[in-house]
Amino acid sequence: MKEVAALRYSLVFVWLATALASVWELHGQSLSLLTAAGLHNPLLAQALILGGAGVDVVVALAMLMKPVRASYWAALVLMLAMTLVATVFDPSLWLHPLGPLTKNLPMAVILWVLAKVRA
């Protein structure tokens, strides 16, 4: 089951890297995304970004330390919800050449598979 562990660790990395990038770009790309979506209150935007980063860390740690079905289902539901919100705010993200939303499809499949095998 080394392949299953590799899938799990790769997703943990993605969630931690996303949290780090969100905080790193707190006043850059992260803020620009929310401003473009119509959120012009900088304190609320900062709270949303930091809260989202915190949730990303919790999801990553849950998958790392407690890799049970509930961890994967929670990650899948959260990712789908964030994808839906991002789609509503900026549907052009689906056409971005680096695929910030299109990458979520294979991630959803990986989470679904991990939930099924309880890795």
The pTM for the full model equals: 0.87
Q: Which of 80, 42, 85, 79 is nearest to 63 (CA)?
A: 79
Q: Is residue 119 over pLDDT 70?
A: no
Please write the tens of the pLDDT for every residue from 20-55: 999 998 888 888 888 888 889 999 999 999 999 999
CA distance 101 to 103: 5
Distances (CA, A) of 15 to 38, 46, 95, 109: 25, 19, 22, 16
Please write the tens of the pLDDT for every residue from 108-117: 999 999 999 8
Can you state the angle between helices 104-117 and 69-89, rounded to 10 degrees?
160
